[in-house]
Amino acid sequence: MNEPMLKVSGLNAFYGRAHILFDIDLEVGRGEVVALMGRNGAGKSTTMKALMGLLPRKQGLVTFRGADISTLPPYRIARMGMGFVPEDRRVFSDLTVMENLDAGRQPPRDGAPRWTPDKLFRLFPNLGEMPGRLGSQMSGGEQQMLTVSRTLMGNPWLVLLDEPSEGVAPVIVEQMANMILELKREGLSILLSEQNLHFAGLVSDRAYVLEKGHIRFSGTIDELAKDEAARRAWLSV
Ligand SMILES: Nc1ncnc2c1ncn2[C@@H]1O[C@H](COP(=O)(O)OP(=O)(O)O)[C@@H](O)[C@H]1O
Ligand SMILES: [Mg+2]
């Protein structure tokens, strides 16, 4: 059982005839938080969609807990315990907080962290104060917390988090960072897409940097923080 949680080898992905990802290799170890970094359009979201089986055209090998999931449809991948929080954080707007959570419920998995609404409300006290609130009546930050919580209700082994800090207020960003650290303490493995080196540095063990669909850097966050040339070339600052 020493294989990594997720191992990706030679992943290529396409939208129609446009070739978007080129020979991506990456790994997420058990219990590890790994940042997938890069500017807008670098291919972060495409990588996550490809891992979840959401792209019709891709090549390469993806193994999840040792099983080849390269050609499985999204619902099978989700049922195996890979959770995905997409960047457009879609809550069900005419369902309540509690109903949204119920929609994400899956049976517990031996060895994976287990979640209940009560446990999630301890993680996100704001949500605990509004279990009957409709999705449509929540702020962007609250919706972000709810989509993360709904995904956790599936008791996943691994969560793909697509830019959780994007477009939310600074106070929510801080809560997001604390939430990710708490999930790590629970033993969850996380692949986090992120543009912001500061945020990535607060929560991640390692980072990959994408540019134009190629991995340009792989190493620890400290190594990336010290590598000014790499940051200038492939990140915003
Ligand atoms: N549905 C789509 N159809 C065609 N091209 C797309 C589509 N979605 C994204 N792209 C292109 O794929 C590239 C990578 O995009 P994306 O993965 O969304 O980047 P990131 O998440 O890093 O900002 C960009 O050049 C983008 O324009
Ligand atoms: Mg994106």
**How confident is the prediction along the chain (237 residues), in pLDDT tens digits per residue?**
578 999 999 999 999 999 999 999 999 999 999 999 999 999 999 999 999 999 989 999 999 999 999 999 999 999 999 999 999 888 999 999 999 999 999 999 999 999 999 999 999 998 999 999 999 999 888 998 999 999 999 999 999 999 988 888 888 888 889 999 999 999 999 999 999 999 999 999 999 999 999 999 999 999 999 999 888 889 875
Which helix or strand (DSSP H or E) is residue 64 part of? Answer: strand 57-64
Q: How far is the CA of 232 from the centre of ligand 2 (A)?
A: 20
- Residue 112, SS3? coil
Ligand closest to the CA atom of residue 49: 1
Q: Kindly state whether residue 64 falls inside one of the protein's structural domains.
A: yes
- Cβ–ligand 1 distance for 1 under 6 Å, the answer no
> CB neighbours of 217 closer than 8 A, spacing ≥ 6?
207, 208, 209, 224, 227, 230, 234
Residue range(s) defining the domain that contains residue 102 = 6-234
The pLDDT of residue 237? 58
Residue 1 lies in a domain: no
Q: Is 56 in the pocket of ligand 1 (CB under 6 A)?
A: no
Of the ligands numbered here, which is closest to the C-alpha atom of 40? Answer: 1
Classify residue 28: in a domain, yes or no.
Answer: yes
SS3 of 161, please?
A: strand
Å from CA of 132 to ligand 2 middle? 31
Domain-located, residue 152 = yes
Would 127 be classed as within a structural domain? yes
CATH value at residue 183: 3.40.50.300
Answer yes or no: is 159 within a domain: yes
**Domain tally for the chain?**
1
> Token pair of 176, please?
């997001």
SS3 state of residue 94: coil
pLDDT at 195: 92
Q: Residue 123 C-alpha to ligand 1 middle, in angstroms?
A: 32
* Ligand nearest to the CA of residue 50, numbered in listed order: 1
Residue nearest to atom 25 of ligand 1 (CA): 41
131 falls within a domain: yes
Spatial strand order in the sheet of 214-220: 82-85, 158-162, 189-194, 33-37, 206-211, 214-220
Classify strands 206-211 and 33-37 as parallel, antiparallel or unpaired: parallel
Answer whether residue 190 is part of any domain: yes
Q: Ligand 2 centre from 84 Cα, in Å?
A: 13
